[in-house]
Structure 1
Amino acid sequence: MNFKPIPNKFEYLNWQEIESIAKDKRSTVIWPFGAVEQHGPHLPLATDSIFVDEIISEVFKLFSSDIPLKKLPTQYIGFSPEHKGFAGTISLSSNLITSMIKEVGGQLSEMGFKRLILINGHGGQISLLNTAARELRSFAPGIAVFPCFLWSGVNGLSELLTKTEMEDGLHASLAETSLMLALKPELVGDERPNEVIKGQIPEGWSLEGNAPTAWLTDDFSKSGVIGDSRGANESLGKNLKELLINHWFKLIMNLMQSDWPNNS
């Protein structure tokens, strides 16, 4: 039986191929980050990891196989202390994740790779990956680092989602439930919790945003959901999937058509 490797998976290539790719002035590695954490009674623990892995895998299908862009295996376990009040959540320390990014990024730089894109599917580790990216740049100045969040900057989300979801749907609510129904419906349970936070937050403050708080999920939620998952449907999920794929394809293509930033 002949084994045909998937050309854009870093780990399926041989060392000569990696050596050759890394010499390209546009050589770029994508490293998806997710989490293994509770997502209510209706979504799997790996929700964030599944999302980033599936979306980026679909994006890669739109690129030609000879592009100097490769994907590392998705890092499934992340930084999720806010969800440790619920069984199943596994969280690594911030120091460990930062060290891991520095170690891997530093070695990619030594190989000759010019850029590393950290695409993160878990909102609870956005600031951590931003900090880790900065530390990696200081540790290995020759590699450009882009810490990105899967859902950030995606034009059209507000047209697809309700105002309540945009403002209060922080975890396992309408958007995430719908997207999972489109990607892996067999993993979605029947319950549709509604735990929208109302009247508990002083004006001008928020769970996330300009004046956030270091919240824990069980501060506000008994089910693990923060938001309203009622009304989730596969059709909305398919639209979200298409929106995310198109957004990331265009963004990454724009980068791959340049050698920005040139750190040499």
Structure 2
Amino acid sequence: MESLETHSSRRLDHLHWPEAASRLREDRSTLVWPFGALEQHGPQLPLATDALFAERILSLVLESLPDAWPIWALPPQSIGLSPEHRGFPGTLSLSADLLIRLVVEVGEQMADQGVKRLVLFNAHGGQIGLLQTAARELAARAPSMAVLPCFLWSGVPGLKDLIPSMELQNGLHAGLAETSLMLALAPELVGPERPCDGLDSAIPIPEGWSLEGAAPYAWFTADISSSGVVGDTRGADDSLGERLKTTLMAHWISLFSSLMRSDWPPTADARRVRGPSTMHP
């Protein structure tokens, strides 16, 4: 099974310290920290699903960027915030304050070593808001470094052409997309079951409210799904998974390329140098 271990040129932890000392202080030096989770993903997907997606897609994306660009991956953070999956064996969850402290403490050290940008490359939907909060806290404490919290599946053009609209809207966990992507990335880790579960919740939801969306509530998987799946996996296959992989890669190659060609986003230190805006409303 391929992993970031085979792509040492893009792993920060594979550099010798003198090289790290110089490379981290280069203009536009950027670290990407993949975030996943250790949580149930139905009877057919491994506990490491989110961490594997973040690590593997990031590896493929960074491999596609010019060698001269100063961008590296940190080792993945494989345990995250997963209280919504409590009750399913194998699930482990850090507390919110611990995860925020982890991001802030590691991030401050990276800023002290000269890193210009830290991207939190997250593949677990249950910690999107938390990592946004952690990024804001880190940015306040380390004003010389820009912090960019991202979600693997967010803003990716073309997903609506690959996933049926009902599944795209309601397949919230271990559904068609995740099962297919895993069949493309690590088929040996996929079990034979193809559940369709969690779509007709036993809990009546008032009109206008939803599991996720504009007016969500803090749901727990066990309340709506006996298998751990929230979605319909019956159409999952490796062909769809390959198309999803290609779509995700194209999106993130484009985003990282535009980032590395720019000095964006400005840090607090850079804003102070420029001074207040002279633009008028």
Answer yes or no: same fold by TM over 0.5. Answer: yes
Counterpart CA distance in 2 for 1:198 and 1:25 is: 52
Q: Which amino acid aligns with 1:88?
A: G
Identity score, percent: 56
Q: Which runs of 5+ in 1 are unaligned?
A: none
Which residue, 92, 103, 110 being the options, matches 2:94? Answer: 92
Structure 1 match to 2:43: 41
Counterpart CA distance in 2 for 1:64 and 1:252 is: 11
Moved more, 106-115 or 203-212: 203-212
RMSD: 1.2
Moved more, 104-113 or 58-67: 58-67
1:73 and 2:75 correspond: yes
Counterpart CA distance in 1 for 2:23 and 2:179 is: 38
1:246 and 2:250 correspond: yes
Q: Which amino acid aligns with 1:111?
A: Q
Moved more, 71-80 or 190-199: 190-199
Are residues 49 and 5 of structure 1, via their aligned partners in 2, closer, same or farther at CA, if it must alter by over 3 Å? Answer: closer
Structure 1 match to 2:260: 256
Structure 2 match to 1:136: 138
Structure 2 match to 1:22: 24
1:123 and 2:129 correspond: no
Structure 2 match to 1:231: 235
CA drift of 1:201 comes to: 2.1
Contact 1:5 1:12 in 2 (8 A): no
For these two proteins, the number of residue pairs brought into alignment is 261
Contact 1:5 1:13 in 2 (8 A): no
Counterpart CA distance in 2 for 1:14 and 1:99 is: 27
Moved more, 27-36 or 9-18: 9-18
CA drift of 1:5 comes to: 7.4
Deviations 1:120-172 (A, max 9, x none): 00000000000000000111111100000000000000000011211110001
Q: Which amino acid aligns with 2:253?
A: F
Are residues 220 and 140 of structure 1, via their aligned partners in 2, closer, same or farther at CA, if it must alter by over 3 Å? Answer: same
Structure 2 match to 1:157: 159
Counterpart CA distance in 2 for 1:76 and 1:153 is: 23
Counterpart CA distance in 2 for 1:180 and 1:101 is: 27
Structure 2 match to 1:108: 110
CA drift of 1:75 comes to: 0.6
Which residue, 11, 30, 33 being the options, matches 1:31? Answer: 33
Q: Secondary structure at the match of 1:7?
A: helix
